[in-house]
Amino acid sequence: MSGAYAFINDEKQNLSSFRDNLPNGSGARTKFDQLNPAISPFSIVLPGQLIVVGDDSTRMCTPEDNLLASYARDVRQSLIATDHASARVLIQNYDVLQSIMSYGSIGIGSVTSAWSAHLSQVESTLKDINDAYQRWRAGSLTKDQFVARRQTLFNVLDGQLRGIGRWGTGLKNNSTIKKMLGISSKRFLLTGEVANYARNVKRINNVARTLSGGTAIGVALDVSAGLMEIGEACSAGREQQCTKAKFVEVGKMMVGIPTSVTIGGIGAKAAVSMCFRMAGPSRGASLVVCGIAGGATGGWLGGAGGSKVGEHFSNWLYELVDDE
Amino acid sequence: MNDDLLGGVVIVSGVISLVSFCVDVYVKYFILPEIEERLKNCRVVIDAKRCWDNSGFVGRRYRLVAVNLALTSTELMRQQDMVDINEVKSISDHQRRWICIPERVALTAFIAGISALALLGKLW
């Protein structure tokens, strides 16, 4: 095979023998190393990592080689945040997951990005609470001003952590926010720091940062899933099958991804509207959570349905071109 | 029902989805800021802008949802003191159309496309 292709490593292993047996000798090995910089001859490759094998008709990296290498990098970065056991589950259930991820991942991915924004808001409120304590200690706030400011911030945090809004924050559901944050005014005056503050902020920040690339990873997964389907069809060496796969996969992406975004927005609006009628405005942050959940459902439905429509559309287009 | 007709519905639905997405991008980047500027005392819009301002394209989706709610569920929002009714009334019909029509067209096209695929037996 001359074209570039990629495969998913299915178990923890060293790929040096695979690398050594590549056709075209040292040129292919050098190119393999270039396209897979994270894999050295002695390193262990984790399950789930995307391995790129370059176009063996040239020593130069083709645009397709580079594109696959960038997807591999994205996948690797997202796997770094995943432990070995989770990565293994992912691979063992790849077929099932693929049906969810392919053409629906943009919807799910955009939700992880949105959730990241929600967690950043929680982090910001925690920082404001800490800031209020610091200002009180420094004497720039009177006791009454401090108590009023703290109460306002606690109300904001209470709304942000209501229901599933707590997910990813690692904050336990205690009877009061003071207990949850481990805040004690007396201890603060002695030690000068809010207990657990740094730990909570760091944890929330880590989760938010991990989730923030959701949309990009979602799009990368969608596109790489399509490219793999094309690669699989083209590797069989049947010109017609290869051309048809290109039409179908591009059509699925072209309709699936935009539909996922549009229907995700409609799902978010429907969910927020429903939550508004049920919960009322006092639960402001819960509405954000409702919007994210509705966006996820809409995005997934839109992505899955849109890719089916796109498949039909591109099949029709292929037959039209093929007849001419 | 005629398979060709259903197939045509699916194709038209796909084309409309693509056009709707382009319109959606235009609305998010050009119409949304204009309307947000005019709804600067509506709590639902202010909260959404504060929360999603730095979240790029995804954030704009949720900001558009807030504006859409202010314009289409005005009575519900007014009861909860989430909108300034005078500001909502000041939004022109032209701007309302940009917010409301693409969404409805996209939803109708999506439902029509999926229904046609189901009738063709190609949905599952």
Interchain pair A266, B17: CB under 8 A: no
Interchain pair B14, A284: CB under 8 A: no
Interchain pair B65, A254: CB under 8 A: no
Q: Is B54 on the interface with A (CB under 8 A)?
A: yes
- pLDDT of amino acid A96: 44
Q: With beta carbons under 8 A apart, name residues in chain B contacting A316.
A: 7, 11
Task: Report yes or no: A126 and A170 within 8 Å, Cβ to Cβ.
Answer: no
Alpha carbons B120 and B124: distance in angstroms, whole number: 10
- pLDDT of amino acid A18: 76
Which among A292, A302, A308 is the nearest to B117, CB-wise? A308
Bridging pattern class, strands A50-53 and A5-8: antiparallel
Residue of B43, B65, B83, B107 to mutate for A, most A C-beta atoms under 10 A: B65
Interchain pair A117, B55: CB under 8 A: yes
Interchain pair B55, A308: CB under 8 A: no
Interchain pair B18, A254: CB under 8 A: yes
Q: Is B17 on the interface with A (CB under 8 A)?
A: yes
* DSSP conformational letter for A44: P
Residue with tokens 């292709």: A5
Determine what percent of chain A falls in helix, strand and coil, rounding each to the nearest 5.
75, 5, 25
What kind and span of H or E run contains A320?
A: helix A284-323
Q: Using one digit for the tens of pLDDT, what is the confidence trace for A10-34?
A: 667 777 777 777 776 777 888 888 8
Per-residue pLDDT of chain B (124 residues; tens, 9 = 90+): 688 888 899 999 989 988 988 998 899 999 999 999 999 888 888 888 877 777 677 778 878 888 998 998 888 888 878 889 999 999 999 999 999 898 889 999 999 999 998 888 877 6
- A195 pLDDT exceeds 50? no
Q: Using one digit for the tens of pLDDT, what is the confidence trace for A87-142?
A: 555 554 444 444 444 444 555 555 555 666 677 777 778 778 777 777 777 778 78
Tokens of A85: 């056991």
Residue B74's alpha-carbon distances to A273, A318, B89, in angstroms, are 11, 47, 10
Residue of B12, B22, B62 to mutate for A, most A C-beta atoms under 10 A: B62
Residue with tokens 């909108």: B83
Residues 6 or more apart whose CB falls under 8 angstroms from that of B21 comprise A258, A259, A261, A262, B106
Q: With beta carbons under 8 A apart, name residues in chain B contacting A117.
A: 51-52, 54-55, 58-59
Least confident of A14-18, A222-226, A245-249, B66-70: A222-226
Q: Is B80 on the interface with A (CB under 8 A)?
A: yes
Closest alpha carbon to A116 in A194, A50, A207, A184: A207
- A242 pLDDT exceeds 90? no
Distance from CA of A225 to the nearest CA of B (A): 19
Distance from CA of A56 to the nearest CA of B (A): 36
Distance from CA of B16 to the nearest CA of A (A): 10
Which among B24, B51, B69 is the nearest to A262, CB-wise? B24
User: Could you please report the per-residue DSSP string of A147-193?
Assistant: HHHHHHHHHHHHHHTSGGGGTTT-----SSHHHHHT--HHHHHHHSS
- A214 pLDDT exceeds 70? no
Q: Using one digit for the tens of pLDDT, what is the confidence trace for B60-85?
A: 887 888 899 899 888 888 887 888 99
Residue of B18, B25, B44, B58 to mutate for A, most A C-beta atoms under 10 A: B58
Distance from CA of A98 to the nearest CA of B (A): 16
Interchain pair B114, A309: CB under 8 A: yes
Alpha carbons B55 and B59: distance in angstroms, whole number: 4
Closest alpha carbon to B54 in A37, A120, A74: A120
Which among A265, A276, A305 is the nearest to B64, CB-wise? A265
Alpha carbons B51 and A131: distance in angstroms, whole number: 20
Closest alpha carbon to B68 in B46, B87, B37, B45: B45
